[in-house]
Amino acid sequence: MLFDLTNDNINDFINKSSGLVLVEFYTPTCKNCQSLLPILEDISDDYYGQLKVYKINCETEIQLADTYDVFSLPTTILFDNELPLKEISGLHSYKQIVSWLDL
């Protein structure tokens, strides 16, 4: 299970974190977001120690979605030392995401 980030705790998990952090922006009613969740959980398990993976609920964290210009769901952003490095939108397979991450 991925941990939910909020406006109150994002600094502790992204801005004060060194290394790579992957964040899925989602809503609970988005079917593609729900389908992506187990894929990201697998990536989190398989790349433990190399990559931290979290999620942000755009229904409750509207300000964070606006801050990172999230216009479609799901949107997944890779951060490196607190800076957005790259992003991908939509539902993708495990293999496609791992290839996109290029770890």
State the catalytic residues: 30, 33
Euclidean distance between CA atoms 101 and 84, whole angstroms: 13
* φ, ψ for residue 99, nearest 5 deg: -65, -40
Give how far Cα 100 sits from Cα of 8, 77, 85, Å: 29, 11, 12
